[in-house]
Each structure stands twice: as structure tokens, then as C-alpha cells.
Amino acid sequence: MRKVKVEESLGMILAHDLTKIEPGKFKGAKFKKGHLIREEDIELLKDAGKYHILALDLDENQLHEEDAAIRIADAIKGNGIYTQGPSEGKVTLKAEYKGLLKVNVDALEKINSIDMVTLATLHNNTLVEKDQAIAGTRIIPLCIDKKVIEQVEELCSVNTHILDIKKLKSFKVGIVVTGTEVYEGRIKDKFGVVLENKAKYYGSTVVGLRYSKDDSEMIKGCIEELINEGANLIFTSGGMSVDADDVTPIAIKESSDEVISYGSPVLPGSMFMVAYRGDLPIIGVPACGMYHKITVLDLVLPRILAGERITKNDMTKLGHGGLCLGCEVCTYPVCPLGK
């Protein structure tokens, strides 16, 4: 440390907190330890009675914590992300738009294994809103060797897309509500509107709604009609269990080229089904989707809308964190489900 006149302290780093006192109003740190002196600070320091400071000397091979955090953030941020700060040594990364957060978890762990570097993120595959904080980074000390930050930058250049936000595409959704009792008007349909609202919430539009008996050929016909009308994503509702009348899985299988999964390790949603005809997803939503606000559909649908093709491995991994706690007040996605 060395004593420096404030007029000569531009660009230097405070070695300790500087206290400001306003009788009856304020007592605390006006400038905190590690603060980088800027031109606008000079007069403020004098106003506080500080005509000299103790400065922290950095050599040409060192970086101040704020500069280090900026460089780390710039290295890790990908599509759809902007930075805010630094503030108290930390840079916050935020979403430019609503979308699906993708985190390279292996690379994240490698970054955090570098001594004195920290990077905290939301979980991979989290649906985030515009301007939502998705990560934060800082170093532990006030200053750090440039080589450490260069190590982070090198790691990021090799492991691209450390953090990205994928925009959700607007799909044209076709809905087939199954159930002979609904088709014959014995009970009122309550499932179709749930799926319509779900599609709209995620930014897609509904191009058609069909009702079908519990008849696989009729369900297949409804699927065909909706595809011919321009649907590029199909929801079928109900009829997904092993009951004698439940034939929706048969219709989905015969309407598709590939069945990814019948059954999911998520509760609610164990009878969920994912299949594809070419690139067109056909989704079987079990009855839980009518009663529960959040189901396995909310874990899978954002990934489909972000342009991902769901795999069997994707479905298998959902079991870890796949149990909904059924909270009285649902706070999803701020909860363990899908994490």
C-alpha cells in the first residue's frame, strides 16, 4: 500500500473502506475496499474530507476484481445474454429475452475448479424470462494474476456455449381430445382448454381442436386432419393408461415414425408419451395434465419449442428431480421439479 493524493489517484484501487458520516443521517462506507477510483470520485472524496488515500498497487500482470469479473462474464456469455455490473466485484448475467437456458455443466465445473474463480448459474434447461438473472461471477480476492483469467478464457474458447438462451419458436399446435364420454357429450370437455392455454403460455398458437371416441382409427384420422391443416405439433389428451378403453398410445404409435418414450419417470406424468413423424412431435398428455398445474409436459415442451429433438436419454434423466411435491402454492420453476 502507498499514500497518494486524491488528485493523483485516478485508476488506483482503495486498500480499505472509506467512511462517510452525516450527523443523524448516515454513517457507513462511502467507498468500499477494492473500489476503483474514477474521475467523478475525486470531488466526492474531498467532500468527505479525504485528500489522501491508501492505494493498492497492481503490477502489469494483475487484474482488479471488477476487470476480472468483466472478462470472465464476456468469456462465458453466449446467445441471448447481457451483463450488468460490476457491482461490489460481481458481474450479473441476464436474459435478453424469454427462452430456455442452456448450461454446459461440464465446463461450468471446470471453471469453478480454477482457484479463486466463481461462477454460479441457474439449472440447465430452466425457462427464463426477459431480464431475469441467470448467472453471476466474481473472483475471491481483490486482485488476481492475469494468467488465471486467461485460463478461464482459454477454457471457454475450447468449450463453446458455456451459457446460451434459446428462443422459443412459435409452433402451430393441433389438439386431439379423446374419450367417448366427451365425444358423445356425456361430460363437458375440460382438457382442451387446458392444452390451449398451455400452448399460448409458451408462445404458440392452436390451429385446430378435434374430439374423438376411444377408437385408435378415429384418433389417427384426427391427427391426420390437423397435420394437413398445418399443425407442426400435436397434443393428444387422455386415454394414455392401460385401461381397456385407452387406445391413444396405439394411435400415436401408428401415426408416427419413431416412438421416443411411452412412460416417463416424472410424477405427475408417468403415462406421458413422446413420438415423432419426421420432425413433427406427437405428444400424448395423460389425464394428470388436466388437473395439475405443472406436469412432465412443462419439462419437455420448452425444449421442443426451443428446437430440440427429445431423446430417450433426455426422458430417462428426468427421473432425478422428477417428483413434484404438490405444494399448496405452486412456485414452479422456483422449486426442485426437473432440477
Q: How does DSSP assign 11-72, residue by residue?
A: T-EESS-EEEEETTTEEEEEE-TTPBP-TTHHHHHHHTT-SEEEEEP--TTEEEHHHHHHHH
pLDDT band at residue 227 using 50, 70 and 90 as cut-offs: very high
Grid cell of 186 as nine digits: 356425456
Given a cut of 70, whether residue 103 has pLDDT beyond it is yes
Within a domain: 334: no
Within a domain: 23: yes
Query: CA–CA separation, 339 vs 336, rounded Å?
Result: 5
Rg over alpha carbons for the chain, rounded to the nearest Å, is 28
Domain residues for the domain of 26 are 2-55
Do residues 156 and 177 both lie within one domain?
Answer: no
**In the prediction, which pLDDT does 60 show?**
87
Within a domain: 339: no
Within a domain: 71: yes
8 Å CB contact between 137 and 76? yes
Within a domain: 28: yes
State pLDDT tens for residues 291-339.
899 999 999 999 999 999 999 999 999 999 999 999 999 999 889 999 8
8 Å CB contact between 290 and 175? no
Do residues 223 and 178 both lie within one domain?
Answer: yes
Do residues 262 and 155 both lie within one domain?
Answer: no
Do residues 123 and 22 both lie within one domain?
Answer: no
pLDDT band at residue 158 using 50, 70 and 90 as cut-offs: very high
State pLDDT tens for residues 181-210.
988 889 998 999 999 999 999 999 999 999
Grid cell of 305 as nine digits: 419449442
State pLDDT tens for residues 242-298.
665 689 999 999 999 999 999 999 999 999 999 999 999 999 999 888 889 999 999
Q: What is the CATH number of the domain that holds 70?
A: 3.90.1170.30
If one counts the domains in the chain, the total is 3
State pLDDT tens for residues 136-156.
999 998 889 999 999 999 999
Of 298 and 15, which is predicted with more confidence?
298
Do residues 148 and 199 both lie within one domain?
Answer: no
Do residues 124 and 201 both lie within one domain?
Answer: no
Helix axes 296-305, 191-201, angle to 10 degrees: 40
Which of 167, 188, 203 is the last residue in one of the domains? 167
Which of 167, 184, 209 is the last residue in one of the domains? 167
